[in-house]
Amino acid sequence: MEKTLFQKICDREIPATIVYEDDLCVSFKDITPEAPVHLLLVPRKPIPRIAAATAEDQALLGHLLLTAPKIAREQGFADDGFRIVINCGKNGGETVPHLHVHILAGRQMTWPPG
């Protein structure tokens, strides 16, 4: 099975600015930032998208959701607030088929998103 783009980043086969990593996940700067802070948080396990996750992934998904605010605290933008986004499938705007959490911060977010 060929590695996904984000697996290659996790394995440092493709360069990225990594800001956090642990046994289960890696966070790095998005290459096309949509906000002053735009990080991606990905599981090392190449789950294609949130709709492909199973009960087996429950703990991993919980870990991702707890790690996003941990990164926000560590990076110093938690107090000002941030947004997390998971795009799923064509209408969701997914372009990379490896589950990832967008972490956006550093400006006032608007709702609804475009």
Which residues lie near ligand 5GP (CB under 6 A)? 5, 16, 28-32, 40, 87, 93-96
Decide whether 72 or 99 has the Cβ nearer to ligand 5GP: 99
Catalytic residue at 63? no
Radius of gyration of the chain measured on its C-alpha atoms: 14
**How many angstroms separate the CA atoms of 81 and 97, rounded?**
27
- Beta strands per DSSP E along 1-114: 18-21, 25-29, 37-43, 82-85, 101-105
Residue positions counted in the chain: 114
Determine which one of 38, 63, 98, 100 is catalytic. Answer: 100
Taking the complex as a whole, the smallest distance from the CB of residue 114 to ligand 5GP amounts, in Å, to: 13
Taking the complex as a whole, the smallest distance from the CB of residue 85 to ligand 5GP amounts, in Å, to: 7
Catalytic residue set? 100
